[in-house]
Structure 1
Amino acid sequence: MQIIFNIFLNIPLTDFKGEVAALLAAGFWAVASVVYGRLGQRIPPLQLNLLKGIIAIALLTITIFVRREFFPILTIVPLCLLLLSGIIGIGLGDLAFLAAINSFGARRTLLMGTLAPPMTAIIAQIFLQEKLNVNAWCGILLTIVGVAWVVTERLPDSSDNSSTQLSRGIGFGLLAAIANAIGGVLSRAALANTSIPPLWASLFRLIAGVLILLPLVWLSWRRGRIILSELQSTRVILATFFAAFCGTYLGIWLQQTAIKYTPAGIALTLLQTSPLFIMPLAICIGEKVSFRAIAGAVIAIAGIALLFYLR
C-alpha cells in the first residue's frame, strides 16, 4: 500500500493527496463491484457484508501490526463520530447497496450512488461550515451528470425489472446514498482536526459496521435465513476474499485518506466515479463501449478537472 502512495503522491500531485486517494478507491471499488455482483447471486447481502467486513478487519489489523502504528490518542468525540460513521456508512449503507444490486442491478445502483455527493456537500456546509465555491459546485454537478449518463445507458441484453424489484431497488439505493453521505460527513468531522491515521480510522469504522450487523445475523440465523452451503466452495471463498481486499480493505483505507485531506463534498464526488473505471474492464473482457459511454466519461473527467484545478 505504501508503494502505491510513493508512486502517486511523491510527485507534483502531492497537493492533491486526497483526490488521488479517492480516485484509487473508486478504481478498486469498480473491480470489487464486478465480483460482488456475481457473489450476490449466491450469498445474501447480510452475510456478504459481514464476511467482507471481517476479512477487511483482519487485513487492517495485520497491516497496522506490520507498520507498527501505535494506538492513536483519541478523545471521546472523534471516536464516537468514527464509530457512528461506520455503523451508518458501512454497516447499514453497504447492506443497502448490496441489496439494491440484487434488486435491480449494479448499473442503476451506481446511478443512485451519484446522489451522495450533493447530499454530502450540503450536509458539510450546514454542519462543518465547509465552503465550496462556484467552480467546485460546477465540477460536482458536471461529474454527477457524466457518471449518471454512463450508468443509465440501457444495455442491449438488459431486461426490465418488475415494479416490485424496481421499487425495492430505488428504496435501497436511496438508503445507501443517504448512509454514504452521512457516513462521509461524520468521518470528515472526526478526521479534519485530529491526527487519527487513516488505517486506524478505517479499522474503527469497520469494527462498528460489523458489530451492528451481528444482531441482524443472529435474527436471520434464528429464522433459518443463513446460507452456509455456498461457503464450502473454494471459488466463492477466494472471490469473497479478493473483493474484500480490493473493495473493503484498500477501498475504505483510501476513502478515509481522501476524506481526511479533501472537503467532504469533493471527496465523495470523486469516490463516486467507479462507473468510469468499469469501462476499461468491459473492454478487456470483450464488451463494446458505446459513444455515449465515452462521452459521459469525458464529461465526468471535465468535472474532475474543475475540482482539481479551479476549486
Structure 2
Amino acid sequence: MIGIFSAFGAAISWTYACFIWRSQTEKYKSIDINLVKNIIAFLIFLPAFINLSVLNNLKSIITLLFSGVIGIGLGDTFYIKSLQLIGTRRTLSIETLSPILAALSGEIFINENLAFRSYQGILIISISLFILLRQRTNLIVNNLTNITERNNLSVYVFPFLSVLCAVSGGLLSRKVFLESNLSPFQATEIRLLGAIIFLIIIKKFRINFFLKKLDFNDQKRFLLSILLGTNLGILLQQIVFKTLPLGIGWTLLSTSPVISLFFATKEEGQITKGIIFFTTLLFLGLCLIII
C-alpha cells in the first residue's frame, strides 16, 4: 500500500508545483528553472550521502547518475518548456503516455509482464488523449498575446520528449532498486546530482540564479514548488519504483491530469464537459491497466 499512497502523493505534489513553474516560464528559460530547482533540492537532501558506500554501490550510482541526466536533466527541461508552450493540463495529459511506454519497457527490459487487459486500457487512453489534444485552448503569453493552438503538432515535441526521458530514467531507477539496497532517499539525491552536473555543463558553468530577482512572495512559492515537486515528488516517485512494477507505478503517478482539473481554471479558463469527460475516460483507461 505504501507504493500506491506514494504514487498519489507524488502526483498531487507534482501537479501543484507545475502551476508554479508555469508562471516562471514567462520570465526565465526552462533550463535555468530546472537547474536552480535541482540545486536547491540537492542541498536540502544532502544528508542522504552520510551513510552511502560509494565503492560497494559504484555500478548502481553510475546508473542513477545517468537516470538523473535523462529523467531530470533532460526530461524536466522538456517538461517545463512544454508547460510554457501548451499549458499544464495538456502537458500532463500527454504525460499519461508514460504508463504505456513504462509497461512495455518493463516487459521488454526487466521481464515485468503486461496483461491483455492492459492493451484495452492503452486503447482507451490513446483515443481519449487524441480527442483532448484536439480541444481548442487559448493561451496567454506574457499577458500580451493571445495564442490559439489547435493543430500545430510541433509544440507537442517537448512533452513527448519529456515522456520518453522520464520513462527511460524511471526504468534505470527501477533496475537499480531490483539489483541493490540503495534507499529511495539516496537514489533521489544521486539522480539530482547527475542532473545538476549535466545541466551545468550544458550551461557552460553559467548559472542564472534568478531566485534573488523574485519578490518575496514569488520566492516563497518557488521554494514551496521545489519542496513539493522536486524533493517530495521525486522521493515519493523513487518509493514507487522500489515497491511497485514499473508499469503499475507509472500508471498511478499519471493521475496528474485528473488532479490538474482543480487548478486548470486559473490557467486556461473554463473547463468544458467534454474535457472533463475525456480526461475521466483517460483515467479509467489507466485504472484498467492495473486491475
TM-score range, shorter chain: 0.7 to 0.9
| TM-superposition CA deviations, 1:125-182 (whole Å, max 9, x none) | 211111121234434554565566567643477742499x852x32222221110111
Match of 1:79 among 18, 43, 61: 61
Residue 116 and residue 286 in structure 1: after superposition, are their counterparts in 2 closer, same or farther (change >3 A)?
Answer: closer
Letter in 2 for 1:205: R
Q: What is the TM-score normalised by the length of structure 2? A: 0.84
Letter in 2 for 1:52: K
CA contact (8 A) 1:84 1:208 kept: yes
Q: Which moved more, 1:246-255 or 1:19-28?
A: 19-28
| Corresponding position of 1:192 | 178
CA contact (8 A) 2:64 2:173 kept: yes
> Is residue 202 of structure 1 aligned with residue 202 of structure 2?
no
Letter in 2 for 1:124: G
Letter in 2 for 1:249: N
**What does 1:90-169 align with in structure 2 at a 5 Å threshold?**
90-142=72-124, 153-155=135-137, 159-161=147-149, 167=154, 169=155
> Is residue 36 of structure 1 aligned with residue 21 of structure 2?
yes
Residue 19 and residue 170 in structure 1: after superposition, are their counterparts in 2 closer, same or farther (change >3 A)?
Answer: same
SS of equivalent to 2:148: coil
| Corresponding position of 1:243 | 225
> Is residue 49 of structure 1 aligned with residue 34 of structure 2?
yes
CA contact (8 A) 1:111 1:148 kept: no
Q: Distance in 2 between matches of 1:228 and 1:44?
A: 10
| TM-superposition CA deviations, 1:9-50 (whole Å, max 9, x none) | xxxxx3xx2222112111111101111110111221111001
Q: Distance in 2 between matches of 1:229 and 1:251?
A: 21
Match of 1:270 among 246, 252, 261: 252
Letter in 2 for 1:71: L
What is the deviation of 1:230?
6.5
Q: Distance in 1 between matches of 2:211 and 2:156?
A: 30
Letter in 2 for 1:217: K
What is the deviation of 1:110?
2.4
| Corresponding position of 2:239 | 257
CA contact (8 A) 1:82 1:190 kept: yes
CA contact (8 A) 2:75 2:165 kept: yes
Letter in 2 for 1:122: L
> Is residue 21 of structure 1 aligned with residue 1 of structure 2?
no
**What does 1:214-233 align with in structure 2 at a 5 Å threshold?**
214-218=200-204, 226=208, 228=210, 231-233=213-215
Q: Distance in 2 between matches of 1:78 and 1:148?
A: 38
| Corresponding position of 2:167 | 181
Q: Distance in 2 between matches of 1:263 and 1:295?
A: 29
Letter in 2 for 1:215: I
| TM-superposition CA deviations, 1:79-131 (whole Å, max 9, x none) | 22211110100011111111222233333322332222222222222111111
CA contact (8 A) 1:53 1:210 kept: yes
Residue 105 and residue 282 in structure 1: after superposition, are their counterparts in 2 closer, same or farther (change >3 A)?
Answer: closer
SS of equivalent to 2:26: coil
Letter in 2 for 1:21: S
Q: Which moved more, 1:113-122 or 1:103-112?
A: 103-112
What is the deviation of 1:297?
4.5
SS of equivalent to 1:195: coil
Aligned-residue CA RMSD (Å): 3.1
Residue 156 and residue 87 in structure 1: after superposition, are their counterparts in 2 closer, same or farther (change >3 A)?
Answer: closer
Q: What percent of counterpart residues are identical?
A: 27
Q: Distance in 1 between matches of 2:258 and 2:131?
A: 10
CA contact (8 A) 1:107 1:152 kept: no
Letter in 1 for 2:52: F
Aligned residues, how many?
A: 284
> Is residue 303 of structure 1 aligned with residue 285 of structure 2?
yes
Q: Distance in 2 between matches of 1:228 and 1:237?
A: 10
Residue 98 and residue 261 in structure 1: after superposition, are their counterparts in 2 closer, same or farther (change >3 A)?
Answer: same
Q: What is the TM-score normalised by the length of structure 1? A: 0.79
Letter in 1 for 2:36: L
CA contact (8 A) 1:43 1:227 kept: no
